[in-house]
Amino acid sequence: MDITKVTGTIEKIDADKHVMTMKLDNGKKKTLRVDKSVKDLGFTPGERVQVSYAQEIIVMAERSDKSAAQLGKYGAVDVEAEGEKPALVKVDTSEIIGRIVSIDPMKRRLRFEDSDGKKRTVKLSYRIKNLDRFKPGETINMAITDETIVEVVPLDFAR
């Protein structure tokens, strides 16, 4: 699973729900769940930080004509940052049914439309083989990880 590092300014923190909203340096706003292993949420709005987070990724996918029973075994996924100390954070997964809009096997990206009509593009795990079996227009069952912050560092101390 990929770990992404971004810098920005904290706009809002909900310590009870473990959620942080940031304005990133690229101007975009991002709200992420903070993993419970991040002990210190003593940051304040307006503070500049570097955040490392596990990106949303499809860890399991089957055409909807297949049994979705296999998806249930992916309740959580371990995260390890490539080339760094293992974070060993359990990232929760959700089961989603969607209609494939497009698929790019080279970039391992799948664009799908969920049951609410919202279109999303998500990276596919390398565990998923034979991407040519998925075709636009098909409905698939997916296990998708949550985007989760695994580390927050004040910008003055960012590595």
Instruction: Give the pLDDT confidence score for residue 139 in this predicted structure.
Output: 92
The per-residue pLDDT of the chain, averaged, comes to 76
Map tokens 């069952």 to a residue. Answer: 141
57-145 maps to which CATH number?
2.40.50
Length of the chain: 159
Tokens of 84: 């760094």
Domains of the chain: which residue ranges?
3-55+148-157, 57-145
**Do 6 and 25 meet the contact criterion of CB atoms below 8 Å apart?**
yes
Distances (CA, A) of 131 to 13, 81, 117: 39, 25, 23
How many other CB atoms are there within 10 angstroms of residue 115's CB atom?
Answer: 10
Assess whether pLDDT exceeds 60 at residue 78: no
Assess whether pLDDT exceeds 70 at residue 62: yes
Long-range contacts (CB closer than 8 Å, 24 or more residues apart) made by 73-76: 74/143
Instruction: Give the pLDDT confidence score for residue 65 in this predicted structure.
Output: 63
**In angstroms, what is the C-alpha Rg of the chain?**
17
Give the model's confidence band at 104: pLDDT under 50 very low, under 70 low, under 90 confident, else very high: very high
Give the model's confidence band at 59: pLDDT under 50 very low, under 70 low, under 90 confident, else very high: low
Name the amino acid, one letter, at 155: L
Assess whether pLDDT exceeds 60 at residue 81: no
Question: Are 3-55+148-157 and 57-145 equal in CATH topology?
Answer: yes
Selected residue with higher pLDDT from 79 and 92: 92
The Cα angle at residue 61 between residues 59 and 67, in degrees rounded to 5 = 130
3-55+148-157 maps to which CATH number?
2.40.50.140
Instruction: Give the pLDDT confidence score for residue 101 in this predicted structure.
Output: 95
pLDDT tens-digit series, residues 28-58: 998 888 777 666 677 889 999 888 877 666 6
